[in-house]
Amino acid sequence: MRLYLLIPLLLISSLLSAQEVSVSVSCQEAWPTARAVPVMVTFRNVPPGSFARFHQTFPLGFSVREAEVAGADFFRDNNQINFVWLDFPAAEVVQIQYLITPDEALSGSFRLTGRFDYVGSDGSERYTVEMPPKLIRLDPEAVVMPVESPVRMVTPREKVAESRRDITAESEKKVEQQEEKKEEKKEEIQVRYRVQVAIASLLFAREELEKRIGCTLSQGMTVLRSGNLYKYQSGSFEKYTEASRYLEELKECGVNDAFIVAYRNDEQIPVDQARTLEKSSQR
């Protein structure tokens, strides 16, 4: 009798442990031009502590800025946006959100797609999950609508994500006002740009890192530890244009995954915010 009871329990246990990782997008299907549209991406059942990256590529003519990153580093590479986690949050459901603005000259439709890559916390295997595509139609007469979350939020992190669902032009203005207040003490702010060239679970000397990326670094190297991983960054620039030139130099050398990161004093901040601070300090 005990054997018959044990078999169903084992089956239930195996089903629970094999929950499939999924990625889905929530947004309105008609996007107005020259207006910021909120987009929410939901991740389910991702193993906590994973190194992960979610990226999407848009046609030319779209501008994007992050709203909720759930602990990820956000950066743009031409018309591609990227969210990178060194340590994916320990939650069954994690959500990110961004604001995207189509240029007023754009028209027609396109498929909104996305790709999620993650590596288990032990670093042994890499997995890829494709986000189901969604057809988006550009309509100058459309109205911006709040994005609806596909799940009921219960954790503190998820409650923060839910509270941002009602992002509108008015809330954007409030964010800009808060940023302007922070800039009042701009003489105390020191913005620096670096180029991140690699992330690894092992600590390398400069010579070993250069061998692994196949390129000799012409600038100094900074190593930052985050959990069980190391961020390898090169250079320290006061101007974004200088960092951008160095980034192109590294990509020409073959370091195609390199990207620019920004710091205000010792705190990492979004590159867009750093560029705003840089411009205000030059006035």
The tens digit of pLDDT for each residue in 198-238 reads 988 888 888 999 999 999 999 999 988 877 788 999 999 99
Q: For residue 69, give both structure tokens.
A: 């990153």
Residue 164: the pLDDT is 57
pLDDT of residue 183: 53
Maximum distance among all Cα pairs of the chain, rounded to whole angstroms: 81
- How much is the pLDDT for 152? 53
The ranges assigned to domains in the chain are: 19-166, 188-281
pLDDT value of position 8: 46
Whole-Å CA distances, 76 to 54, 57, 193, 257? 12, 10, 14, 12
Q: Which residues lie closer than 8 Å to 12 by C-beta, 6 or more apart? A: none
- Structure confidence at residue 7 (pLDDT): 43
At residue 246, what are phi and psi to the nearest 5 degrees?
A: -65, -40
Which has the closest alpha carbon to 38: 78, 97, 90? 97
pLDDT (tens digit, 9 = 90+) per residue, 21-68? 999 999 999 999 999 999 999 999 999 988 999 999 999 999 999 889
Q: What is the pLDDT of residue 116?
A: 96
User: What residues have CB less than 8 Å from 139, skipping those under 6 apart?
Assistant: 30, 31, 32, 33
pLDDT of residue 193: 94
Higher pLDDT: 186 or 94? It is 94
Give the CATH fold of the 19-166 domain: Immunoglobulin-like (2.60.40)
As a whole number, mean pLDDT of residues 168-192 equals 62
| Model confidence at 163: pLDDT above 90 | no
Please state, rounded to an integer, the average pLDDT across all residues of the chain. 83
Residue 17 has pLDDT above 60, yes or no: no
User: Do 61 and 120 contact (CB within 8 A), yes or no?
Assistant: no
Q: Strands 126-138 and 30-31, how do they pair?
A: parallel
DSSP state at residue 215: -
Q: What pLDDT, on the 0 to 100 scale, is given for residue 168?
A: 55
pTM: 0.57
Cα gap 84→93, rounded to integer Å: 17
Q: Predicted confidence band at 176 (pLDDT cuts at 50, 70, 90)?
A: low
188: confidence class by pLDDT, cuts 50, 70, 90: low
Whether the per-residue pLDDT at 182 is higher than 60: the answer is no
Helices 271-281 and 240-252 cross at an angle (nearest 10°) of 140
Q: How far apart are the first and last CA of the chain?
A: 81
- CB within 8 A of 72, min separation 6: which ones? 54, 83, 84, 85, 96
What does residue 245 show for φ and ψ, rounded to 5 degrees?
Answer: -65, -40
Q: How far is the CA of 65 from the CAs of 68, 79, 101, 237, in angstroms?
A: 10, 12, 9, 22
Residue-wise pLDDT tens digits, 255-278: 999 999 999 887 899 999 999 988
- What pLDDT, on the 0 to 100 scale, is given for residue 87? 87
What is the reported pLDDT for 174?
63
Kindly tell me if the per-residue pLDDT of 107 is higher than 80. yes
Give me the CATH code for the 188-281 domain, please: 3.30.70.1070
How far apart are the C-alpha atoms of 83 and 69, rounded to whole Å? 7
Amino acid 146: pLDDT:
86
